[in-house]
């Protein structure tokens, strides 16, 4: 138990630290600290796993484990003590009374105690599912923010090339105008195109700053750049087996709801019927000292209880008429029978159980549909990525050829810049295709009940993926 509390404290400290790191981001940026971190996708995955939502879910999971440990403890006992001093104003003198007691319930694993253990196990399973969901969401958020930052970098690169093209075209138009081969309107149009290109660049730079800020807030670090290292993955198709179906978070949740409804029905059935209770106690007394031991149980809770109480007090010495030591045993049996209007709790619990079972069937059907749809989306994303990679390779070959022709004096600088622009656009398209494929793969991994650790491997290009860069 002590170790569990220590783990909770450590997890809580991590969660607080993550939040404080996020709060400090704006201050760091305003002080020019500017020494931000250039993220890789591996670093983004690492930071996502340590983000505040994940650490908070980990803390809740540890608390659920502690709660289960407490529910499994075989005895729940309490102790009490009482001391009283009394002054008799008639002259008999003061007296002192001392009373000690202990009571306990035995957790037998059936009845109310067994249901409490089952509820604690369900709560632990729910906490595990919540922690897994938090990890998936953190990975998806990190990928989305990382991809947005990459796209913003690509947009800035393309905007800079467009500005270079606009500058080149403006210079050429002015030269033609000086030679009498262009009109004033042509120069004005070229100047307007150059101004538009400059505004486009400024807007792209602002969007890039915003993307870095969003990524910084998502991961809790000051981001100054991102590496162009998204893996180009070939993700195999998943099939939803029975084991994978059972591992889905929504299926597991539906099964927990069925178990909870079944326990609620059992409780309602016991509460609506006859409740028989039995108790036995033994009391021994000798003068001012007495000891009482008792035990009891009823058919509703089905949890045995034990109790003991010792009391003693100072008193005047026993005289000829003093009571002799005595031992008494008491056996009690009682029963309660509901006589009021019909109890609807059983019917309501039966309906809730039927609804929970129907929900499970619905979830199973939806799971199959979802996996089929996501598999199709991943296949389409893979096809888009192959097309984008082909287009990027062709654009790079064309840019190399344009540069060689420029060096030979066959073409001008404009053709080289246009080839560079085509490469930048194709590169951005390839990155978008990579991100789309990875997002689909993450969703598919979650849909088939894969653990978050495997999803993280997908982002790193290590699990079921052929990496092409």
For the stretch 345-377, pLDDT in tens is: 888 989 999 999 999 999 999 988 888 888 888
Give per-residue burial for 358-374: e unless 16+ CB within 10 Å, then b.
Answer: ebbeebbeebeebbeeb
Which residues constitute the domain of residue 124? Answer: 1-77+108-227
At 411-431, the pLDDT tens digits run 888 999 999 999 999 999 999
Q: Are residues 222 and 234 in the same domain?
A: no
Q: Are residues 238 and 162 in the same domain?
A: no
Q: Are residues 66 and 208 in the same domain?
A: yes
Q: Are residues 240 and 220 in the same domain?
A: no
Mean of pLDDT values over 141-166? 94
Least confident window among 7-11, 82-86, 167-171, 199-203: 7-11
pLDDT at 25: 40
Q: Are residues 237 and 361 in the same domain?
A: yes
At 82-129, the pLDDT tens digits run 887 777 666 666 778 888 888 877 777 666 777 788 889 899 999 998
Which CATH number does the domain housing residue 439 bear? 1.20.1600.10
Q: Are residues 157 and 235 in the same domain?
A: no
Confidence band, pLDDT 50/70/90 cuts, at residue 281: confident
Percent of the chain with pLDDT over 70: 84
| Best CA proximity match to 216, nearest among 39, 12, 411, 349 | 39
Distance (Å, whole) CA 276 – CA 266: 16
Confidence band, pLDDT 50/70/90 cuts, at residue 33: very low
Least confident window among 14-18, 81-85, 301-305, 386-390: 14-18
Mean pLDDT of the chain: 82
Instruction: Give the list of residues 6+ apart from residue 18 with CB closer than 8 angstroms, or none.
Output: 50, 51, 52, 55, 220
Q: Are residues 259 and 170 in the same domain?
A: no
SS3 content of the chain, % helix, strand, coil (to 5): 65, 15, 20
Q: Are residues 35 and 183 in the same domain?
A: yes
List C-alpha distances in Å: 273 to 146, 235, 299, 337.
61, 58, 10, 7
**Position with higher pLDDT, 270 vs 317:** 270
pLDDT at 456: 83
Using DSSP, state whether 242 is helix, strand or coil: helix
| Best CA proximity match to 103, nearest among 296, 352, 311 | 296
Using DSSP, state whether 449 is helix, strand or coil: coil
- 447 has pLDDT over 90: no
pLDDT at 31: 38
Write out the H or E segment, with its range, that includes residue 296: strand 289-298
Domain assignment present for residue 341? The answer is no
State how many domains the chain has.
Answer: 2
List C-alpha distances in Å: 90 to 249, 288, 345, 411.
75, 20, 60, 125
Q: What is the pTM of this model?
A: 0.74
């Amino acid at each position: 138990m002590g170790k569990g509390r220590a783990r909770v404290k450590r997890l809580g400290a991590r969660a607080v630290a993550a939040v404080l790191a996020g709060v400090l981001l704006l201050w760091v940026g305003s002080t020019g600290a500017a020494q931000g971190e250039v993220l890789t996708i591996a670093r983004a995955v690492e930071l996502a796993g340590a983000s505040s939502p994940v650490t908070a879910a980990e803390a809740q999971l540890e608390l659920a484990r502690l709660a289960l440990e407490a529910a499994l403890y075989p005895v729940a006992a309490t102790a009490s003590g009482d001391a009283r001093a009394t002054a008799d104003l008639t002259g008999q003198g003061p007296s002192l009374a001392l009373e000690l007691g202990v009571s306990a319930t035995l957790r037998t694993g059936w009845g109310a105690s067994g249901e409490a253990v089952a509820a604690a196990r369900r709560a632990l399973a729910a906490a595990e599912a919540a922690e897994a969901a938090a990890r998936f969401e953190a990975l998806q958020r990190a990928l989305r923010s990382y991809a947005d930052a990459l796209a913003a970098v690509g947009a800035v690169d393309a905007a800079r090339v467009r500005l270079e093209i606009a500058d080149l075209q403006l210079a050429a138009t002015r030269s033609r105008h000086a030679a009498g081969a262009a009109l004033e309107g042509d120069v004005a149009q070229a100047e307007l195109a150059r101004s538009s290109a400059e505004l486009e660049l400024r807007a792209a730079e602002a969007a890039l700053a915003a993307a870095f800020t969003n990524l910084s807030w998502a991961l809790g670090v000051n981001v100054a750049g991102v590496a162009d290292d998204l893996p180009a993955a070939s993700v195999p198709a998943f099939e939803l087996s029975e084991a994978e179906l059972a591992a889905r978070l929504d299926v597991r949740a539906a099964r927990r709801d069925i178990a909870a409804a079944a326990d609620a029905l059992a409780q309602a059935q016991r509460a609506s019927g006859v409740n028989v209770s039995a108790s036995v106690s033994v009391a021994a007394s000798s003068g001012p000292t007495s000891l009482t031991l008792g035990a009891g149980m009823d058919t509703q809770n089905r949890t045995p209880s034990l109790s003991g109480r010792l009391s003693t007090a100072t008193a005047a010495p026993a005289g000829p008429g003093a009571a002799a030591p005595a031992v008494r045993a008491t056996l009690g049996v009682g029963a309660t029978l509901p006589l009021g209007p019909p109890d609807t709790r059983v019917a309501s619990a039966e309906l809730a159980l039927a609804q929970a079972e129907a929900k499970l069937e619905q979830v199973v059907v939806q799971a199959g549909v979802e996996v089929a749809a996501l598999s199709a989306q991943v296949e389409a994303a893979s096809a888009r990525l192959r097309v984008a990679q082909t287009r990027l390779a062709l654009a790079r070959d064309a840019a190399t050829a344009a540069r060689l022709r420029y060096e030979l004096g066959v073409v001008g600088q404009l053709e080289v810049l246009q080839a560079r622009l085509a490469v930048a656009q194709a590169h951005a398209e390839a990155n978008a295709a990579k991100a789309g494929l990875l997002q689909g793969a993450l969703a598919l991994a979650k849909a088939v009940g894969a653990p978050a650790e495997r999803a993280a491997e997908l982002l790193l290009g290590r699990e079921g993926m052929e990496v092409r860069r």
